[in-house]
Amino acid sequence: MARRINFINPFGTHAYDEIIQKTLSHYAGTDTELTISHLEGCPADPDYFYPKHMMEMALYEAILQSQEQGFDAVISGCCYDPAVRVGRELVDIPVIGPMEASLQMAPYFGRSVAIVTDHRKACEYMRDYAKTSGLDGNIRGFEVIDWYIRDMIKDATGVGRDVIEVARKTVESTGAEAIILNCTIIAACYQQYLIEGGEPAAVPIINPNLMALKMAESLADLWKANAYQISRTGYYQQPPAPFYKGVTASVRKAWAKAQPSLTSSFAVEDAPHVPTA
């Protein structure tokens, strides 16, 4: 029986689904049924923290629905790893964050790494995230390519070229042995650049989409074999008492009730638009 994995693009638009499908699906195992999905009723651009938190509310519901629909693992498809920890409280299936998976797999690519992300705000967020995850021990540095995802999707070749150049400079300045691309859309654009014949970087480039997929496949196999169980005794404890179970149920009910208004307010965009001044 196939393992079913839902890769959720956590954006209120389907504009990024195609490039993820094109650059990731061929890496899926022969027994993997990979679904690429997106959110509705939330912002399309989670670069800043305020809209990101509303996006996470929509993502919680998508994670719950993934388990209800019979998926064996779910990927939160952004390197902020949004909703991953809360998601693990909500469901029993594995919930994977691309950045966490990349940091965990990085030692297989090099003794040290540097992080290349999209813009300065994301860079500072990742410094904090790496520390709080406890996986920052061999990170030599952080750098940016100065792109936003809504612009990347229009020029994957340009993003790929900038990845090559920034990776080269970052390795020279930090001595890192490998680069983690700290954005799922950067990684997809770089992969498309390679598919179209672009010259690869001289150092290992860790693709967070691929790391998340392979982590999800491994954990999905454990889940299906009844060999995966997340601890409910501490951080990921679920409400044990009827009152707190009711609070959780009320939150979900309220979110569902708000969906028509939210969907109207955040209409799904067919394509990213150019930012206005």
Residue 48 CA from chain centroid, whole number: 16
- Among 12-16, 24-28, 92-96, 273-277, which is the least confidently predicted range? 273-277
| % residues pLDDT > 70 (the chain) | 96
Over range 134-146, report the average pLDDT.
Answer: 92
CATH entry, 100-208, from 3.40.50.12500, 2.40.420.20, 3.20.20.100, 1.25.40.340: 3.40.50.12500
CA distance 113 to 197: 26
Length of the chain: 277
Local structure of residue 275 (DSSP, 8 states): P
To the nearest 10 degrees (0 to 180), the angle between helices 184-195 and 208-224 is 110
Q: Which helix (H) or strand (E) holds 208?
A: helix 208-224
Domain boundaries, the chain: 3-98+213-265, 100-208
Which of 237, 243, 167 has the alpha carbon at shortest distance from 202? 167
Which of 137 and 12 is assigned the larger pLDDT? 12
Average pLDDT, the chain: 94
Over range 13-26, report the average pLDDT.
Answer: 97
| % residues pLDDT > 90 (the chain) | 92
List, for residues 199-247, the tens digit of each pLDDT value.
Answer: 999 999 999 999 999 999 999 999 999 999 999 999 999 999 999 999 9
Partnered with residue 181 across adjacent β-strands are: 116
Q: State residue 77 phi and psi, 5-degree precision.
A: -80, 55
Q: How much is the pTM?
A: 0.94
Q: How confident is the model at residue 134 (pLDDT cuts 50, 70, 90)?
A: confident
Supply the pLDDT for residue 271.
46
CA distance 38 to 77: 9
Q: How confident is the model at residue 135 (pLDDT cuts 50, 70, 90)?
A: confident
Site of tokens 């079913």? 4
Are 198 and 69 a contacting pair, CB within 8 Å? Answer: no
Q: How confident is the model at residue 276 (pLDDT cuts 50, 70, 90)?
A: very low
Q: Among the residues of 119-155, which ranges form H helices?
A: 120-133, 149-152
How would you list the strands of the sheet with 205-206, edge to edge?
139-144, 113-117, 178-181, 205-206
Supply the pLDDT for residue 270.
45
Are 61 and 255 a contacting pair, CB within 8 Å? Answer: yes
CATH 3.40.50.12500 fits domain 3-98+213-265: yes
CA distance 16 to 14: 6
CA distance 251 to 86: 13
CA distance 57 to 236: 18
List, for residues 148-165, the tens digit of each pLDDT value.
Answer: 999 999 999 999 999 999
CB atoms within 10 A of CB 131: 11
Q: State residue 253 phi and psi, 5-degree precision.
A: -65, -40
Which of 227 and 269 is assigned the larger pLDDT? 227
Residue 141 scores a pLDDT above 80? yes
